[in-house]
Amino acid sequence: MSQEGTYWLWHWSGRCFGYRQGDQLLAEDGQQLGRFIGERVFDRDGRYIGELREASESAGGQRLLTRLADLRLQHDGFAPARGERKSLPADREPLPLPAGYRRFPLASELKRHLAPATAAAPQPSVGASPAEPAPSAAKPTARIAE
């Protein structure tokens, strides 16, 4: 189900990611980098990249982060759409990450993931930090229904 309207979304760290329009997650330049299925976000290849989670109202409501237990979820991919270019609003106060979560990928990381590979070396998983190994491609994935 698509949500109506357009509104800004922030990382748990307080950094503005971009905006949501319906079921699309868009960067400030209008490039679609994700699709919402409920509160979960999937990249164009159908890989889970994160979700919206409620923060306190004083912290600005919902924010983006990635649940480690859901990293193997898959959904149907999509052909990215193009939205409007917008100027990012100010960042918000950072919040400590809850246990079992890591930061949501930055828009720049998701854009790099979409760019054609220039080297034969494997690329790290989107949103992975050096302290967190990328999920193995050999692991089974769990598909979710819409």
For the chain, which residues make up each domain, given as ranges? 6-113+125-143
Q: Report percent pLDDT > 90 for the chain.
A: 64
What pLDDT, on the 0 to 100 scale, is given for residue 62?
Answer: 87
- Could you give the angle at the alpha carbon of 106 between the alpha carbons of 42 and 71, nearest 5°? 40
What residue type is assigned to position 20 of the chain? R
**CB-CB neighbours of 74 under 10 Å:** 15
Q: pTM (2 decimals)? A: 0.75
**Radius of gyration for the chain, computed over Cα atoms and rounded to the nearest angstrom:** 15
- State pLDDT tens for residues 24-47: 999 999 999 999 999 999 999 999
Supply 101's token pair. 């979560």
